[in-house]
Structure 1
Amino acid sequence: MTDTETPAPRPGLIARTFTMLWPHSLRAQVMGALALALLLAQGIGAALLYRAQHEYREEQVTHALAIKLVMASHDDFAPPPGPPPEDRAPDDQGAGKIGGKDGAKPTGPDRPQQDGERRFRHFHHGPPPEDVSRGPRTESVDHFALQAFDRPRPEMARRLSPMLTEQDVNPAGLIVCERPLAKDPMIQQRMERRAALMRRHINLPHPPPMEASRLLIAAVPRPGGGWLVSRVVVSPDDPWLPFTLIAQTLFIYLVLVGTMAVILRRIIRPLAALTAQVEQFAETRVATNQVAPQGPHDIRRLIAAQNAMEDRIIALINEKDVMLGAIGHDLKTPLAALRVRIECVEDDNERLRMAQTIEEITRSLDDILSLARVGRPSEPLETNELSALVASVVEDYEDMGEPVELDDMPRIVLPLRAVWVRRALQNLISNAVRYGTVAHVSLTREDDWAVVRIADQGPGIPESQIARMFEPFTRGEPSRNTHTGGAGLGLTLARAIADQHGGTLSLANQIGGDGGIVGLVAELRLPLGA
């Protein structure tokens, strides 16, 4: 790599993790995308709902504080001085009576309260307890200051100020804070009085707990001195809100996922059948068990187009086979006649050269016809002992006096087409003997593969030319001399046979200790479960 070249950026850890975890099937990807989208939508909806609920509660509390401060700031609505009604001692003439002087019925704002007191006294013979949940009344104090446990609420003070201004109440010096309910002295006094009344009249040992509630306090200076302090008890947030959102999310998940599952099943089933059909056709080149058009309209069109394409390909392959068969028949017949006629040639050398030429043409024709038929084998896979097949091929070369060596081999049995595998081994060993002087053959088992290696001691092949060696009519020796090489179809045919069995064929140079090439290794891999 030169100085001007920069390496391609590697994906980050998050991107690699996402790629690893992200599903690969169509159904899983659609379901995953739907789940992520629904999760995002529900999260945004929950945040907006919580915000709206929070703002609504804040508005309610702000209006309650404003109403109490406005009513208390006018003399007509100011609370009467003196202790609360339950602390007053009844006089001799008005004992057991609620009302004004001489038993006159009260009128105005105090009448409903006194009527409630009278009804409570009739049943419980005592003053009624005050409802703390409605919040204490507004009080007037000489001095107001924030405590250490108070939390200032300036945003609520900004919201409350215009409301007071509209009702002719000066908001200058307005203070709004939030205080724990249990730490407010006025609330504690009222709670103690309420508990005492409950124990005396209703026989309740303890008042209802209010620890989760909080208290909002608004204080505004009075024009003549002192402060008006208003309190509002704020109930705790709805504890069932998260469960409601979760239940809503689960319901939506069930509805959407169920609907998408039905739709995806209608789409994926014909696609899966079409995929199996294409895979089988790619392996066998035989259009069997074609899928009938089904599913949505787009999927039907795809299946119909695939079936038509397979029929067209089969027709072309059949036409090619017929043409090659005719060529083979038409050429072999005159070649056989030539073999007979050359016997009339008196010159032995000329007759020998003519016979070699006829043999070369016949061999090339056989290779071409074999390469054309290898993609469509007529014989099925049969269980054979590969080690015995390799040994048989090596023995044939040894009988011809060729320098072929065979290592000890394990017994390996697998399904294969023996005629085609024998042809591939013969081509590889012939190349090793022709170009590398000695062929060294070995057979090993590696995981789920049977590996046949044919190594020679020749000059090897340049790395840039190894891939091109598998192309038809390509030779390592550039001349067209038949004594130094064939027609250039041996490796092409051997790789086609390996592909036909679901295996691979590869070439690699052997590197010696000095870094130079000392030979070439052809590696034929066949799956044990083919």
Structure 2
Amino acid sequence: MRDRFNRLMPKSLTGQVLMALALALLLAQGISAALLYQAKDKYREEQLIHELALKATIALRHRDEPPPMMEGPMRQGPDLGEGPRGPRPEMVAGFQTLPVDQPCDEYTHRLTQILAGQDIGAARVLVVERPIAADPLWNHRIAKRYGVMGNHGPPRPTSVLVGAVQMTAGGPWLVVRTSVPPNDPWLLVTLILQTLLIYAVLVGTMALILRRIARPLAALTHRVDHFAQTREAKGQITPEGPEDVRRLIVAHNALEERITALINEKDVMLGAIGHDLKTPLAALRVRIECVDDDAERDKMAKTIEDIVRSLDDILSLARVGRPSDPVEPTELSALVASIVEEYEDMGDDVVLDHLPRLVMPSRATWLRRALRNLIGNALRYSGSAAVTMERVAEEGRDWAVICVSDCGKGIPDGDIERMFQPFTRGEPSRNMATGGAGLGLTLARAIAEQHGGRLVLANRMEHGAVGGLDATLWLPLSA
């Protein structure tokens, strides 16, 4: 469920804030609409019951007076005179409900309270709601009044509220009526238009504010990615946006400058170390020629070579993050084949299989160094190596996957990540001939990451046991 929710959520800051705002507005408008409907229904109920009470009160107080322009008492029996919302009050000997009548207990209770508040004591009070078509005294001319103007007139009522009041037990009943207005059809339209207007104002305003925040943040993100690849302080972005974002950009620019200065100091220091160490090592290589003991002289020469090789690895690892050679299209199949041929010429057991033609932008010198490190490790720890290459589509990109396999003892699963740390070796001795300096995998992974790829180590299982180690180099075929 959480994964589905995460997939539906927008990925950007602007999208998430706008979605949260839209959901909050929808909830608020839903609550507002519910309260509005409730208040409107309550108001309509009060309006209807007060209209019934008003008609009943006037009729009861003036029941012994003759109506205007008429002679005699209030008409006993049907009164077909028209009122503004239905027939006028009538006095009947007995009141009988119809089968279609719906009792309204709340209206009955409220009408009793209102009449009592007017000092009108009633023996019985009854309020029912019935369809207009079923009411025998609903004058056709009154019903016609609501439809004479067609769609331009007010909505036509469909039911009538009938109130019956008996003053004394066994006495006549006063019957009053009022039409029940239908629900306002424009209320929902009004709420929708109101919601759209609020959305347009608030969401539009928030979108402009978020854009002012998100645009410099997006530029800063792009700049961070660019700096991570190039380590160059050139092309810093100009601070813009709100004050907090501007301060963040200023701080990041200062951080870039400081990192660049540290990297430059490191390069200068390493260059000086390399120069200061290689010069005396070269002189020492010349001086050992004066040693008469051939065996001792060979040991000294090998020691010097080991020191020079380790020094080269250290300097290469330091420079891998800031390569000076350009990126050029490289045919990987030819590059891999040439490296394998070098080992074959030296009599090493290296097998090449499944080599499709693949071209990618790369720094060929660095890739050669990475592949030599991987093949050299395989030969050092198992005596043989098998190299394969294939094209794989993953994560929406095409990759060149170069795998160097050996038949050694593999690496314990808990130590695989540790093998990428500098000066960590699978062979515990410090013998350079058997274990190297412990920088090969570190340098190979750094080269892979320099090209936007990765290096993966995994034990290969054969017949339920470890059958060797696979060092897989993933390189993107496009930038």
TM-score (norm 1): 0.83
Change over 3 Å in CA distance of 1:157–1:286 after alignment to 2:
same
- Contact 2:128–2:163 under 8 Å retained in 1: yes
Does residue 464 of structure 1 match 2:451? no
Equivalent position of 1:279 in the other structure: 225
Deviations 1:346-392 (A, max 9, x none): 00000000000000000000000000000111122110101100001
Change over 3 Å in CA distance of 1:46–1:210 after alignment to 2:
closer
> Aligned AA for 1:219?
A
Change over 3 Å in CA distance of 1:99–1:78 after alignment to 2:
closer
CA apart distance, 1:192: 6.0
CA RMSD in angstroms, aligned pairs only? 2.4
| SS of residue in 2 equivalent to 1:186 | coil
CA apart distance, 1:171: 4.5
Equivalent position of 2:85 in the other structure: 134
Change over 3 Å in CA distance of 1:36–1:476 after alignment to 2:
same
Does residue 479 of structure 1 match 2:429? yes
Equivalent position of 1:510 in the other structure: 460
Q: Take 1:194 and 1:521, find their aligned partners in 2: how far apart are those partners? A: 91
- Contact 1:383–1:414 under 8 Å retained in 2: yes
Q: Take 1:160 and 1:318, find their aligned partners in 2: how far apart are those partners? A: 93
Does residue 54 of structure 1 match 2:46? no
Does residue 527 of structure 1 match 2:476? yes
Q: Take 2:355 and 2:129, find their aligned partners in 1: how far apart are those partners? A: 88
Q: Take 2:190 and 2:246, find their aligned partners in 1: how far apart are those partners? A: 43
Pick from 314, 317, 336 the counterpart of residue 260 of structure 2.
314
CA apart distance, 1:100: 7.2
> Aligned AA for 2:226?
Q
Q: Take 2:110 and 2:244, find their aligned partners in 1: how far apart are those partners? A: 59
Does residue 256 of structure 1 match 2:202? yes
CA apart distance, 1:137: 1.3
Q: Take 2:65 and 2:86, find their aligned partners in 1: how far apart are those partners? A: 15
CA apart distance, 1:78: 5.2
> Aligned AA for 1:475?
R
Equivalent position of 1:185 in the other structure: 136
Equivalent position of 1:305 in the other structure: 251
State how 1:20-419 maps to structure 2 within 5 Å.
20-74=7-61, 76-77=62-63, 131=82, 133-187=84-138, 190-191=139-140, 212-223=157-168, 225-419=171-365
Matched positions, count: 464
Q: Take 1:191 and 1:500, find their aligned partners in 2: how far apart are those partners? A: 91
Gaps of 5+ in 1: 1-12, 86-97, 102-108, 110-128
CA apart distance, 1:99: 7.4
Deviations 1:260-301 (A, max 9, x none): 122111111111111110111112211221111111110110
CA apart distance, 1:33: 1.1
- Contact 1:181–1:210 under 8 Å retained in 2: no
CA apart distance, 1:64: 0.8
| SS of residue in 2 equivalent to 1:229 | strand
> Aligned AA for 1:419?
T
CA apart distance, 1:408: 3.1
- Contact 1:507–1:520 under 8 Å retained in 2: yes
CA apart distance, 1:169: 2.0
Change over 3 Å in CA distance of 1:166–1:342 after alignment to 2:
same
Deviations 1:64-114 (A, max 9, x none): 11111222223x345759xxx9xxxxxxxxxxxx7779xxxxxxx9xxxxx
| SS of residue in 2 equivalent to 1:483 | helix
Equivalent position of 1:433 in the other structure: 379
Change over 3 Å in CA distance of 1:164–1:368 after alignment to 2:
same
- Contact 1:432–1:454 under 8 Å retained in 2: yes
Change over 3 Å in CA distance of 1:35–1:347 after alignment to 2:
same
Q: Take 2:36 and 2:186, find their aligned partners in 1: how far apart are those partners? A: 13
CA apart distance, 1:166: 1.1
Change over 3 Å in CA distance of 1:173–1:436 after alignment to 2:
farther
CA apart distance, 1:133: 4.4
- Contact 1:398–1:404 under 8 Å retained in 2: yes
CA apart distance, 1:204: 11
Gaps of 5+ in 2: 75-79
Pick from 479, 488, 497 the counterpart of residue 438 of structure 2.
488
Q: Take 2:352 and 2:64, find their aligned partners in 1: how far apart are those partners? A: 116
CA apart distance, 1:186: 0.7
> Aligned AA for 2:331?
E
Change over 3 Å in CA distance of 1:430–1:77 after alignment to 2:
same
Percent identical residues:
60
Q: Take 2:440 and 2:456, find their aligned partners in 1: how far apart are those partners? A: 13
Deviations 1:13-60 (A, max 9, x none): 3x4432221112111011111111111111122222222222111111
Q: Take 1:467 and 1:148, find their aligned partners in 2: how far apart are those partners? A: 85
Change over 3 Å in CA distance of 1:231–1:193 after alignment to 2:
closer
Range that drifts further, 450-459 or 281-290: 281-290
Q: Take 1:401 and 1:393, find their aligned partners in 2: how far apart are those partners? A: 13
Deviations 1:188-223 (A, max 9, x none): xx216987xx9xxxx999xx9975432111112221
Equivalent position of 1:92 in the other structure: none
Q: Take 1:150 and 1:500, find their aligned partners in 2: how far apart are those partners? A: 85
Q: Take 2:268 and 2:206, find their aligned partners in 1: how far apart are those partners? A: 50
| SS of residue in 2 equivalent to 1:237 | coil
TM-score (norm 2): 0.92
Q: Take 1:193 and 1:412, find their aligned partners in 2: how far apart are those partners? A: 90
Q: Take 2:218 and 2:206, find their aligned partners in 1: how far apart are those partners? A: 17
Q: Take 1:525 and 1:19, find their aligned partners in 2: how far apart are those partners? A: 29
Q: Take 1:226 and 1:460, find their aligned partners in 2: how far apart are those partners? A: 108
Pick from 442, 449, 453 the counterpart of residue 499 of structure 1.
449
